[in-house]
Structure 1
């Protein structure tokens, strides 16, 4: 529940059923920290995760310079989706045990 006070959260519903969600917050260093992206297991592979990721990116405030996220070090499918979306592994950044960090530069508006 603490995340509700510090993060913006979006949910995806289909016929009233909660089928996905994602949250994000601005870090002190200008990173748009995207997290807790989830899609119901029976609906994975239909582009819902990508839709939620794109929505979270589009909602970044103007002062966000980088998109940042964590995923499981063994989550090959997640890493594949994020890499396809332009994210790159960042072994130089500290991740929680069992996780990896991925980042993507935010495109500058007007260029």
Structure 2
């Protein structure tokens, strides 16, 4: 919701998915959710998949508005990065060009802006190279 409010008119695909789109996507994406252990409340989610370029496409990073700023988004981002298959060398995500808080978090996590024709008008692409373990 905040992404759409900060970027009115921007056509980031995840912001316009129907429930049926999300259901179909469960077979295409690795989806993780965070729940409050005491209540079971859904408090965050993230998803990732290998795209046509062989990059790990990260999407729908969501944190309940009342819990933002507590590190849950960063934890979900780190989690989804760890779930990328072994051959992936680059993480990629889209966000609104006016979503300064999101961009700040991604930059702190090592993501950088990349010029990319796939980005819808008003959106930016951010990428990060995967560190090799060993």
Which interval holds the TM-score relative to the shorter structure? over 0.9
- Aligned-partner SS, 1:54: helix
Partner residue, 1:7: 29
Mapped to 2, the partners of 1:47 and 1:76 lie a distance apart of 16
SS at structure 2 position matched to 1:61: coil
CA RMSD of aligned residues (A): 1.1
Q: Which has the higher strand share?
A: 1
Q: CA deviation at 1:30?
A: 1.7
Q: Which has the larger radius of gyration?
A: 2
Which of 37, 44, 47 is the aligned partner of 1:23?
Answer: 47
User: Which aligned segments of 4 or more residues in structure 1 are displaced greater than 3 angstroms?
Assistant: none
> Which ranges of structure 2 fall in alignment gaps of 5 or more residues?
1-22
Count of residue pairs the alignment pairs up? 110
Q: Secondary structure at the match of 2:27?
A: helix
Looking at structure 2, the residues matched to 92 and 59 of structure 1 have their Cα atoms a distance apart, in angstroms, of 24
TM-score by length of 1: 0.94
Map 1:42-53; keep pairs closer than 5 Å: 42-53=66-77
What do the CA deviations read for 1:58-108 (whole angstroms, capped 9, x no partner)?
111001110000011110000000000000001245302221100000112
Q: Distance in 2 between matches of 1:4 and 1:97?
A: 27
Q: Pick 1 or 2: higher relative contact order, CA cutoff 8 A, min separation 6.
A: 2
